[in-house]
Structure 1
C-alpha cells in the first residue's frame, strides 16, 4: 500500500471515527464522573460502586452488541430507492424491538444482582451497597439501549452529528444531579452511592428523549424512523437477531470476563478492588478511541465488502488496527511518565486506606500501559470481522482468549501464586493478547481466502 493510499484510507476512517470517539469520550465521562463521586464518598463506596458498574456493564455491553450490527446492515442497504428505504425502516424497527426485549430482561436480572454476589463470596458490606446501586440503575437500561439503537442507525446513515452535543449536555446534567442526589442540595437529603445510580438513570431517559426528538427533526433521517414496532417484519427481525446475537455474545464474553476479574480482585480485598476500579476506569476512557476506530473501520469495510472490493476492505482493516496501536502506545507512555496525574483524578484523600489503594493502583497502571494496546487490537479486530459479515468466529475466539487463556492465567498469577491484583491484571493482559492475535489471524485468512476465490472465478481474458 502506497503512502498516498494509506493517508487516504486513514482520513476516511478518521472522518467517521472522530465524531464517534468524541461521543464515546463524552459518554465515558458519565461513568468517570460517577467514579470520581464514589471516590469522594470513600474506599468502601468506591469498591461497591466499581463492582456494581462491572455487573451493569455486562448487561449494557450485551444489549449494545445486540443492536450494533444495525449500523452495518443500514450501511450495506444500498442506493436510496423505495425498496432500500423500506428495508432500512424495517431494520430500525427490528433494532428497537430487540433493544426493548433485552432492556426488560436485564432490568429484572439486575434486581437479583445482590443475591448472586453474596453467593459468589464477596464482602457483605460491599454487596449491600452494590445491590442498592443496581436497584436504582436498573430502570435506566431501557432508554440506554434505545439510545444505542438510534445511534447505530444514524452512524449507518453516516449522520451521527447530534450525538456529541447530546452526550456533552448529559455529562453536565449528570454532574449536577450527582452533587444534588449524592450529597444533598436545595433542601433534598443526600442519598450517597444510590444517588449516583439514580442520577445516571435520569440522564439515560433524558438523553434518549432529546436524541429521538432531534432525529425526528432531521428530514433525511426522520423518514426512516418508525416507532410502530408491531409492524416489524419477521425477515428484518431475523437478520438483525442473527447478526446481533454473536456480536452480543462476543461483547458479553468480554464484559463478563472483566466482571469475573473484578470478582477475583474483590477476593483480594477492598483496597485492591478500589484500586482496580480506578485503573480500570482510566483504561476504559482510553478504550473509547478503540470503540470509535472499530465502528468506523467496520462501517468502511461493510461499504466496500458489499461491492466486492476485497482489497479495499483489507486496507481499511489494517489501517484501523495501525491507527489504534499508535494511539495506545502514545497514551501508554503518558501513563508511565505521569502516573500521579492519572490516578489523582480519582483518589483525593490521604488516609491510610487511601494510601494502600494508591500503591496498588500505581502497580496496575504500569500493566495497563501494555494491556490497552492488546485491548484495542481485539476490539478493532471484532469490528473489522463484523464489517466483513463474520460475527460467529469472533465469539468463539473471545471464548478461547478470555476464558480459556486469560481467566486461568489471572487465577494462577493472582491467586495460586499470590501476586494479588497485579498478577490478576497480568493474566488479563495475556488473555487480551491471545484474543487480539487470533482475531487478526482470522481476518488475514478471511481476506486471503476471498481474494483467492475471486481470482479463481475471474474470467480468463481472450488472446
Structure 2
C-alpha cells in the first residue's frame, strides 16, 4: 500500500469538505440559539422548545436523507458532461423535495399527540404545540433548500450553501431577539417568536440559494424554462429509489440516538443530563465526518461518471483515512479532557445543585471515554455510507444499518443500560457496538462492490 497516493488527495478533500462542515455546524447552531435565547424566559419554555425540536429533528433527518439522492446523480452526470441529466436530476429532485417538505409538515402536525404519550408535563405541552406547528412549517423551505444544496454539492460548489447558512444564522439571531423579547416596536411573542425566527431564516435560505445559483452563468441553462411537462415518471422513480433508502439509513441512526436519550431518562435525570453533555460534544466532532461523507459521495460519483474505477478506490480510501485520522485526534482530545469538558455545560456556583452536578460530571466523564472510541466507528460508517451513495448503492446499506443499530446496538444499550449497574455507560456501549458493526459491514460492502467494478470493467475491456 502506497500511503502517498492517499495523502496527496487530502488537500482537495478538505477544500470540498470545510464549507459542508461549517454549514452543518450552522444547522446545529439554529437549534442551540433557540435554546439559549428561550432559556432566559424560563425552564418551562426551554423544555417546550427542546420537546418540539426533538420531533422536528426526526422529520428533518428523513428530508435531508432523501435529498442526498440528488448529489450522486448530478455529480456523475457532471463528470461525464451530460448537462441534460444534470438539469433533469435538479428539476425532479426539487419537485420531490417540495412535495416531501409539505408531507413532513403535515406528519409532524398530526404527530403532536405523541407528546402526551411521552408523559410530558401539561404546561410544557401547551407551550410546545403552537411552537411545533410553526417550526414544522419551516421544514417546507428547509427541504426545498436541501434540493438546491444537493444540486450545488453535486457540481462541487459546496461553498454556496455555507454562505446561505451563515446568512440564515445571523438573520435568525436578529429575528429571535426582536420577537422573543419584544424589542423596539415588535410584539413580545416568547417561544412563538423563536419559531417565526426559524421559519423566516429558512425561507431566506431558499431565496438566497435560488438567487445566487441562478445568477451563475454556467448554471443558467438549469434555471430556464421549467415546465411540469419535463417531469418524467422514470426519473422520479430513480430518485425515490435512491432517496427513500438513504432517508431510512439516516432515520435508523437518529432514532437510535433518540432512544438512548429516553433510556438515559429512564435511568435518572443525572444520567439524562450527562448523556446530553456527551452527545452535544460528540455531535460537534461528528460534523467533520459528515462533511467528509458529502465529499465521499461527490468524488466517488465523479469517478464513476469518468469510469476510472482504480482512482475511485484511491479517492474512497483517501477520504476514509482522513476521517480516521481526524476522529482519532478528537478521540485523544476526549480522553485527555474527559474530566474537564463536562464543566462547560454546568453552573458549578449553584450550591443547591452541587450534588447533582458532581454526579452528572462523573457520568459524563465516563461517557466521553466511550465516545472517544465510538466516534472513530461513527466517522468510518458515515464516510463509507457516503461512498456507497456515490456508487448509488443504497438498499443493501439500508439493511446493514437497520441490523447494526436495531439488532446489534439497541438490545445491548437496553440490556446494559437498564439491567446492569453500568447505567448510561451501558447505553453508550450499545451505541458503540451498533456503530462498529455498521462501519465494518459497510466497508466490506464498499470493498466488494469496487472489486466487482474493476473485474467487470476488465471483462468488458477484453
Structure 1 equivalent of residue 100 of structure 2: 102
Instruction: Quote the residue 2:148 is aligned against.
Output: 150
Cα displacement string for residues 266-319 of structure 1 (whole angstroms, at most 9, x for unaligned residues): 333445434433432322222211111011112111111233322222222222
**What is the CA distance between 1:357 and its match in structure 2?**
4.8
Aligned to 2:15: 15
How far, CA to CA, are the matches of 1:233 and 1:144 in structure 2?
A: 24
- Shift of residue 362 of structure 1? 3.7
Check if 1:401 corresponds to 2:398: no
How far is 1:396 from its partner? 0.3
CA gap of 1:429–1:285, structure 2 versus 1, over 3 A, is same
Identify the residue that residue 280 of structure 1 maps to in structure 2.
279
In the superposition, relative to structure 1, how do residues 107 and 64 fare at CA in structure 2: closer, same or farther (>3 Å)? same
The aligned counterpart of 2:241 is: 242
**1:439 aligned to which of 438, 442, 450:** 442
- 403-412 or 229-238: bigger deviation: 229-238
1:319 aligns with 2:308: no
C-alpha spacing 1:298/1:9, structure 2 compared with 1 (3 Å): same
- Within the candidate set 413, 422, 425, 1:422 is matched to 425
Contact 1:47 1:274 in 2 (8 A): no
Contact 1:43-1:270 within 8 A present in 2 as well: no
Once residues 133 and 268 of structure 1 are traced to their aligned partners in structure 2, the CA distance between those partners, rounded to angstroms, is 29
Alignment match, 1:58: 58
Which consecutive residues of structure 2, in runs of 5 or more, have no partner in the other structure? none
Shift of 1:257: 1.9
For 1:419 and 1:45, locate their aligned partners in 2 and report how far apart those are by CA, in whole Å.
33
SS at match of 1:155: helix
Aligned residues: 457
CA–CA distance in structure 2, aligned partners of residues 15 and 234 of structure 1: 37
Per-residue deviation, residues 201-250 of structure 1 (Å, max 9, x unmatched): 22111111112111111111232135846232223212211111111111
Query: Relative to 1, partners in 2 of residues 1:396 and 1:15: Cα closer, same or farther, differing over 3 Å?
Result: same
Looking at structure 1, the residues matched to 225 and 197 of structure 2 have their Cα atoms a distance apart, in angstroms, of 27
Aligned position for 2:199: 201
User: What are the residue-to-residue correspondences of 1:37-436 with 2, within 5 Å?
Assistant: 37=37, 40=40, 48-78=48-78, 84-122=82-120, 127-186=125-184, 188=186, 190-225=188-223, 228=226, 230-231=228-229, 232-339=231-338, 342-343=341-342, 346-348=345-347, 350-351=349-350, 352-353=352-353, 355=357, 357-417=360-420, 419-436=422-439
Q: Provide the rounded CA distance (Å) in 1 between the counterparts of 2:457 and 2:4.
A: 26
Tell me the secondary structure at the aligned position of residue 8 of structure 2. helix
Between 262-271 and 421-430, the greater mean CA deviation after superposition: 262-271
TM-score by length of 1: 0.89
Deviations 1:342-385 (A, max 9, x none): 44554447434572655544443333222222111111121111
Q: Structure 1 98/199 Cα, relative in aligned 2: closer, same or farther at 3 Å?
A: same
Instruction: Judge which range, 326-335 or 113-122, deviates more.
Output: 113-122
> How far did 1:41 drift?
5.5
TM-score for both structures, normalised by structure 2: 0.89
Structure 1 CA distance, aligned partners of 2:268 and 2:45? 14
Deviations 1:93-132 (A, max 9, x none): 1111111111111111212343113224455565555444
- Distance (Å, rounded) in 2 between the aligned partners of 1:36 and 1:429: 30
